[in-house]
Amino acid sequence: MAVEEEAGRPTWSRQIEFTLAGIGCAVGLGNIWRFPYLCYRSGGGAFLVPYLLMLVVLGIPLLHMELTLGQYLRRGPVLALAKACPLLKGVGMATVAISFIMCTYYNIIITWALYYMFSSFRSQLLWENCNNTWNTANCSDRASNSSSPSTASQQFFNFKVLERTSGVEETGVLRWELFLLLLLAWILVYLCIFKGVKSTGKVVYFTALFPYVILLALLINNVQLPGAIDGIRFFIIPEWDKLLNVEVWINAAAQIFNSIGIGFGSLMAMSSYNNFNNNILKDTLAISITNSLTSILAGFVIFSAFGYMSHLQNVPVSEIAVDGPGLVFVVYPQAFVTMPVAPLWAVLFFFMLLCLGLDSQFAMVEVMVTSLLDSYSKPILKILKRKEFVVLVVCSAAFLMGIPNVMQVGIYVFQLMDHYTAIVSIMFLAFFEVIGVCWIYGVNRLSSNLIEMTGNKPNIFFRVCWWVICPVLVTVILVFSVIQFKPARYEDYVYPPWAQAVGWLIALASIIWIPLAAVHTLWVLPGSFAQKLKKSVTPFSLDEDSESPYYQQKAAVMEAIPNIAITGSENNTPIQTNL
């Protein structure tokens, strides 16, 4: 079915396409490696209590808020947040910046997955033993602790895939195999999204659903392995005393926050292509609940494999679980080695990682493209002519910026960027977004938007969460993150001070837009400083100034003003809005 046009803006051909794209965006590699690790570290089944509670009071309400704003204003995060809260319009710019920075290094994970997948098409897996040219004398395929650098799978990752150097001070040379696979990864991304929601809407039928087929197949296989029940028991049996630790609750909130993608702008950008009268609550529940159920399913898959490894190596499960790339590129590949038909399971697993990574990558690139075309469509299209070329330029720029990650120093660059982007920056962005939308744009206005679109007012639960619970929780998470902040490190390697400084510059590359845009807003608004300040916290005030660069968006913005007929974009059709 062709994409229909609504007020000059493309919409999803079918609403299920947005739902699947949203699920694909939210469900990513973090569900596979981060959630099981946090669950293991935070008391097993006990972690599910704060996790599910945070899903209800933080994840679902904030996702509902973002989808409502994007669908109503029909703009990406930059213009949507500029309209909702002019003083904090920089939050929208920051979300675009953080999404673009993330997509430059997130594709490296897809690159590694491709490397492992292609390496698995053989009768004997390359990380099965230590009889390879890259192995060192202390290599062992039966290590007592699988996170040790001496295991065969660890050495395959470090010395064959990465050929990593001793530290960030030593850059090494370009890894041409990884470079070509990174190029292939970006070609895949481009081919899937170059037509916008036309192509993305079709691709997500496969990329969002197929990982569940593989997860279920892996689970059915794993639970039949000896020792699997011990891993599952470790995963689900609670250690209730861990609930007294405030860090467990903060970890649960942070996992919900980062997993769903609040503050990244991706889902807001995609919801701007919804039909105006779409039932947002249904999509909100489908995306958030599916995301959490996927994390729990992945937990069963991962820990059943850990139980099997624990049985083979005669070590406790607690010595097997590790965080980050090591979980999916070191520990789990090691579990494949002794499984029946090992290469088949390896190929399926890494193909699943490819699908999960592509979905999230689609969303991050779409944020950049949507925001550029929302703000500068005429000058950009005058030069590039077609949206397909805009997507090509964005993908090409991100590919070039990602090249340092495929050098021998790449893993250190990757870890540094991920630490200061996904951990430091996102919490500041989320805090200002929640304050700007929930308190300045206002719960009443948000409720009116929902009534206009769906005919239904949000219930008291959502209004209380938006007004009190979400701002308080996000503030607590931000404060705790600052207090508990730890510098970036990779395994036992500690980054030198200059590298940490580079990390903070990476974080500032997104955060800096918030104060800069606030100053710009106060500069362009007319009147005394007090008048400027008052207008800066008044939604849509930038559109009231004919000298403002946002004036051209006035027709779209005026939808939010009650009972006023305005002139339609090109055909001078009156539009009547009622709140």
**444 annotated to bind ligand:** no
What's the residue count for the chain? 579
DSSP category for residue 44? B
Backbone angles phi, psi at 488, to 5 degrees: -65, 145
Residues in contact with 546: Cβ distance below 8 Å, sequence separation at least 6, in sequence order:
none
Amino acid identity at 495: Y
- 359 annotated to bind ligand: yes
The answer to the question of whether 219 is labelled as a binding residue is no
138 is in an annotated binding site: no
Both tokens assigned to 551 = 């004036």
Q: For residues 404 and 76, is the Cβ–Cβ distance under 8 A?
A: no
Count Cβ atoms within 10 A of the Cβ of residue 563 and give its class: 0-12 exposed, 13-18 middle, 19 or more buried.
exposed
Determine whether the annotation assigns residue 323 to a binding site: no
Do 9 and 265 touch, CB atoms closer than 8 A?
A: no
Buried b (16+ CB within 10 A) or exposed e, 51-79: beebbebbbbbbbbbbbbbbbbbbbbbbb
Classify 265 as helix, strand or coil: coil
Place of tokens 């500069």: 523
CA distance 88 to 520: 10
Q: Name the phi and psi angles at 493, rounded to 5.
A: -85, 125
What is the rounded CA–CA span in Å between residue 398 and residue 103?
7
Dig out the tokens for 414 from the structure: 């990757």
Give yes or no for a contact between 256 and 55, defined as CB atoms under 8 angstroms apart.
yes
Distances (CA, A) of 557 to 487, 536, 543, 568: 43, 16, 8, 12
> Over the range 93-114, which residues count as b (16 or more CB within 10 Å of their CB) and which as e?
bbbbbbbbbbbbbbbbbbbbbb
CA 214 to chain centre: 21
Asked if residues 76 and 421 have their Cβ atoms less than 8 Å apart, the reply is no
Residue 545 marked as a ligand binder: no
Residue 347 Cα to chain centre, angstroms: 24
What is d(CA 533, CA 434) in angstroms, rounded to the nearest whole number?
19
Consult the annotation and say whether 272 binds a ligand. Answer: no
Q: Residue 332 half-sphere exposure, CB side, CA atoms within 13 Å?
A: 28
Strands 493-494 and 574-576: unpaired
Q: Is 369 annotated as a binding residue?
A: no
Residue 291 annotated in ligand binding: yes
Binding residues for Na(+): 24, 26-27, 31, 259, 291, 356, 359-360
Binding residues: 24, 26-27, 31, 259, 291, 356, 359-360
